[in-house]
Structure 1
Amino acid sequence: MSEVLAEEEQKAREPLQQAIQHDNIDLLHDLIVKEPELLDRVSKDPFPNTPLHIAAAEGKFEVAMEMFILRPEFARKLNPKGYSPMHLALQHKQYQIVRALMTLEPELIRVRGRHGITPLHYIACEAKDNNEVELLAEFLCTCKSSIEELTSRCETAVHIAVKNKNLEAVNVLLGWLKQVHLTKILNWKDKDGNTVLHVATSGEPQHEMIKLLAPHMDVNAKNFNKKTALEIFQGHSSCNQDIVKILRGNVIRLYLPKISLLKLLTMRPTCFEKWAAFFYIEDKSVREVILVVSTLMVTATYQAALSPPEGYWQDSSSNALTNSTEIAHGKPHQAGKMILSGRQLYRFTLLNSTTFLISMCIILAAIVPLFPDTYMVGLSMFLLATTYFFSLTTGFQNSDDGAANLIEGFFMVAMYVFFILSYWIWQKRALVQQEINATRRRIGDF
C-alpha cells in the first residue's frame, strides 16, 4: 500500500519538477490552478525538500523567486539533510539566487542549518575567490546581527574562517568588526573555551593570522584547559620568537586580580561598590533629568571659575596700603588676577569647587557602566577638570596663599582619585564580562 502511495506522489511531483526544470512560471501557476493544495502537499513533511529548495539548488532563478513570493516560509525550512534553500544555493554556487534571497529577506543569512551552520558560516569557510569574498562582505553589511550566530560547537564565523585557514575571509571579518566596533566578538569562546587566537595557534600555527588577530584580542584569555594562546604556541617544536613577543602582549593595564563570576556574586560589596550603587537609578527618565541638571551645574561652575565675582584686575599696581578706604582700589595687585581675596576667595573656591566636583562625579558615575563606548566623554571630562583647576589656581592674587591653595589642591586630588576609581570599577566589570563571554554571547541591539 505504501509503495502505491509513493508512486502516486512521484507522478504528482513530475509536472512540478518539469516546471522547475524549465524555469517556467506560467506552467507552475497552471499546476496550482489545477490543484490549489499542490504546494501544501509537497511540503507537508517536517523536513520537506520544497520546490524552492530544488529551484535554488538547480539555479532556476525565476521559479525560485516566484516560489518565495508564493510561500516565503519555504525559505526558512530545512530539508532532510538540514539545509535551507540559501544553503543549497551556496553549495551549488548559485550566487545570483543567494543575492536575490538576501535582498528579499536579509534574516535568511541567520538561518541555522546542519551543525548550526548559517549561510554566513558557510561562506566564511568557503570564500576563496573575489566573488565569494565579496559575497561575505555583502552578508555582513546586509544582516549585521548574523555575526552573533553560533554553530552547534559555539563557533563564530571568525572561528570557522580561522579553522579553515581562510586568510581572505579573516581579513574581511576583522575589517568589518573594527568598523562596527565589535572586535570583542574575537574573544568569544567555542565549546572548548578556545578563542580564535587559540584556534590560530593550535595544530599548524598560522603566523599571518596570529599577527592579524592578536592586537585586537585579550592575549591572556585561557581556554577550558587553562591554557593561553602563548602556551599552546610554545608547545610546538618550531617556535617563532616574533610571534611569542606578539602573544605576550605589551599593553600596560591597571593590575586587578582575576575574579570568577561565582566569587563576585557571593562576596560582600566593597565600600566603593556600595558608593557606586548609591548613584544607580533605575528609572531612565529620572537619570536623564539628573544628567541634564549635572551638566548645567558643571557649565555654571566652570563659567564662574573663568568669571569670578568682582572679576579680574585690569591693571597692575604696587601701591602700599595707607588706610582702609584705599583697600578696594589702592591695594597692590597684578593685572589678570582675581579682585576677590581673603575669606571671600576661600568661600567662593570652596563652594564652587564642591559643586563642580559633585556634578562631575554624577556624570562619571553615569558613563562608567557604558565604557569603553563612552571613553571619549571620560577623557573630555578629565581635560575639563584639569583646565578648571588650572584656571582657578592661576587667578589667585597671591600665589603663596596657603589656604586657597590647600582648598584647591584638595578638590583637585579628589577629582583625580575619582577618575582612577571609575577606571578601576570599569576594569573590574570588564574582567568579569570576559569570564562570562562563553555563555552570554550577544552583541545587543543593532
Structure 2
Amino acid sequence: MTLQEAIAADDVNELYSLIEQDENLLDHGSKGPFPDTPLHDAADKGKTTMAMEIATLKPSFAQKLNRGGHSPIHLALQKKHYHTVRALMTLDPKLIRVRGRGGITPLHFVAREIGDNEQDNVELLELLVKFLYACKSSIEDLTNQCETAVHVSIKAGNIEAFKVLFEWLKQVHLTEVLDWKDQDGDTVLHIAESKKQPEIIKLLSQYADVNAKNFLGKTALEISEVNPSGSPDVADSRHEGRRERRYTPTLSLSQFSGREPTDSEKSANTFSVQDKSNRDIIVVVSTLIAAATYQAALTPPGGYWQDSSSNSTVVTANSSSVALGKPHQAGDIIMSGSRLFIYTFCNSVAFFASIATISATALHLKACTFMVYFCLAILCTAYYISMTIQIPETDEAARFSVSLLFSLSLFAMSCLPICTVYKRAMRTLVRPRVDATRRHSATFPG
C-alpha cells in the first residue's frame, strides 16, 4: 500500500508501517517552496484522522502553501470538510491566520463564503465564531486588497457573517476595526452604502465614523446621495434606536454570538475581565494594595495612646512637658479630627476597592468562587472591627466612613455571586459544538 492509498483509507496503522520502511516517507515531495505535502492530500480528501496524525508528526506542513496558494486548512474549507478544519485548528489556533492565495486567511474565507443550503450556512457561521474566539488577533489580518474579514463579508453580501463579526467586535471592544480602510480607502460603511445594504448601514452608523472619507474624498453619506436607493441612509440610521432582543434556548452558537446582547447581559459582562493575563495582573496588584492598606490600618502614623486619660490636658512631671490632648483610652489612635478622617477614609477606600476588584475577577473561578467571597468577607470584617476599635468614639466622622464603606463592600460582594449564577445560566442555553478530537476549540470570553 502506498502513502496515498493509506491516506485515502484513513489508516494510521498503515501510515506507521510505511514509515518503518522509510523514515523519510513524509518528506518526499515536501521540500520545495510550494509543496503538496501529505497533509494537503489528507485535508483535501477530508481524512481527519490521518490529517491530525501527519500534522502532529510534521507541524510545519500545516502552514505551507501548495502551488495553488492554499494551505491544508484552506483545502479542507474549499471541500467543506469542516470536521477536519476544526480538528486542525485545535493543534495550533495560529493556523487561522495563515495567508493563502490573495492574502485570504481561513477567517476571510468563512466570512465570505455563503453556504449552498441552511445546514451548510450554519456550519460556516459556527466556524466563524470558533475562529474568532480561538484566535482573537486574526481579525487584524488583511487580504492583499487590505480588506478585513468585515470588508470581505459585506462585499460578498454575507449579512449573517457580518452580524457575527459586528457583535463580536463590540464584545471585545475592537469596533475601531470598522473604520479601517481597504486599498481604495473605503471603510465598511462606504461599502455597505455603495451596495445599498440598509440593515448593515443601520448597525454601522452608530459605531463607524460616518465622516470618514475614502481616497476619492467621499463620505458614506455623499455616496448615499449619489446613489439613492430609497432605503434609510446613514443620516436616518443614526437616529434610529435599537430594540432589545431576547434569546431563546434554541439558539445555536453562531446565532448567540451574532445577536445584540441585552441590557442584562451587558451588566453581567461588566464585572468580568476577558483576557487571562490582564486578569492575573489585576489580581496581583489588588492583592498588594489590600495587604498594604490592611497593614497601614494596623500601624497608623503617630501610633496609639499608651495610657488612658479623662482630662483634656495632662502634663508630665519631668522637665519636658507634653500635652496629651483630649480624653482618650489606651489603644486609641493618636491622630484625631480632620487628619484622622482623611487618613481613615482614603485608606479604607483603597482597601475595600481592592477587595471589590479581587471579588470581580474571581467570577471565573466557578466552584471556588464561594470560598473566595467567604474569605474576603471575613477579611473585610476583621478590617472593620480593627478600625472601629482603634478610632476613638469621639471621632464620629471617621467611624461613620469606615462603617459606610464596609456596608457597601459587603453589599457588592453579595451581588457578585448573583451575577455569577446568572452568567452560568446564560451559557447553559448555548453549548458549543466539539471538534473531531472531542475538545472545545473555542469558549466564551470571561
In the alignment, which residue of structure 2 is the partner of 1:240? 231
Map 1:90-239; keep pairs closer than 5 Å: 90-128=77-115, 129-202=121-194, 204-239=195-230
What displacement does 1:22 show?
A: 1.1
| TM-score normalised over the length of structure 2 | 0.52
Compute the TM-score of the two structures, normalised by the length of structure 1.
0.52
How far 1:101 sits from its partner (Å)?
0.7
Structure-2 separation of matches of 1:140 and 1:242: 30
How far 1:243 moved relative to its partner? 4.4
Distance 1:246 1:231, change over 3 A: same
How far, CA to CA, are the matches of 1:157 and 1:127 in structure 2? 14
Cα displacement (A) at 1:246: 2.5
What's the RMSD between the two structures over aligned residues?
3.5
Aligned-partner Cα distance in 1 for 2:239–2:216: 19
Question: C-alpha distance in 2, partners of 1:48/1:163?
Answer: 32
Superposed displacement of residue 240, structure 1: 3.2
Contact 1:198 1:228 in 2 (8 A): yes
Residue 42 (structure 1) aligns with = 29
**Higher relative contact order structure (alpha carbons within 8 Å, sequence separation ≥ 6):** 2
Task: Please say which structure displays the higher CA radius of gyration.
Answer: 1
Q: 1:127–1:168: 8 Å Cα contact kept in structure 2?
A: no
Indicate the residue corresponding to 1:18 in structure 2.
Answer: 5
For 1:45 and 1:223, how far apart are their aligned partners in 2? Answer: 41
Identify which of 40, 46, 54 aligns with 1:59. 46
Cα distance in structure 1, aligned partners of 2:238 and 2:186: 15
* 2:72 maps to which of 85, 102, 108: 85
Distance 1:238 1:17 in 2: 55
Amino acid at match of 2:173: H
Residues of 2 paired with 1:16 and 1:236: CA distance? Answer: 57
State percent identity of aligned pairs. Answer: 55
1:127 deviation in Å?
4.4
Question: Secondary structure of the residue that 1:31 maps to in structure 2?
Answer: helix
The offset of 1:239, in angstroms, is 4.2
- 1:238 CA drift (Å): 3.0
- Residues 1:32 and 2:23 are matched in the alignment: no
Higher normalized helix content (fraction of residues): 1
Structure 2 gap ranges (5+)? 116-120, 242-284, 294-337, 347-445
- Deviation of 1:173 after TM superposition, in Å, equals 0.5
SS in structure 2 at match of 1:134: helix
C-alpha distance in 2, partners of 1:205/1:124? Answer: 19
The 5 Å alignment of 1:230-309 reads: 230-241=221-232, 243-246=234-237
The residue matched to 1:215 in structure 2 has which SS? coil
Amino acid of the residue matched to residue 194 of structure 1? D
- Separation in 2 of the partners of 1:242 and 1:66? 53
Per-residue CA shift, 1:352-400, capped at 9, x if unaligned?
9xxx9xxxxxxxxxxxxxxxxxxxxxxxxxxxxxxxxxxxxxxxxxxxx
Q: Deviations over 1:310-364 (max 9, x none)?
A: xxxxxxxxxxxxxxxxxxxxxxxxxxxxxxxxxxxxxx9xxx9xxx9xxxxxxxx
For the structure 1 residues 89 and 241, does the alpha-carbon distance in structure 2 shift closer, same or farther, using more than 3 Å as the test?
closer
CA contact (8 A) 1:230 1:247 kept: no
Distance 2:228 2:49 in 1: 56
| Unaligned 5+ runs, structure 1 | 1-13, 251-287, 297-347, 357-445
The Cα shift of 1:186 comes to 0.7
Shift of 1:39: 1.6
Partner amino acid, structure 2, of 1:96: H
- The number of equivalent residue pairs is 258
Give the counterpart letter for 1:54 in structure 2.
D
Instruction: Tell me the amino acid that sits aligned with residue 115 of structure 1.
Output: G
> What per-residue deviation string (whole Å, max 9, x for no partner) do you get for residues 222-255 of structure 1?
11111101111111143435544236999xxxxx
Q: Whole-Å Cα distance in 1 between the matches of residues 89 and 9 of structure 2? A: 24
Distance 1:138 1:50, change over 3 A: same
- DSSP-derived class of the 1:136 partner: helix
Q: Work out the CA distance in 2 between the residues paired with 1:217 and 1:249.
A: 15
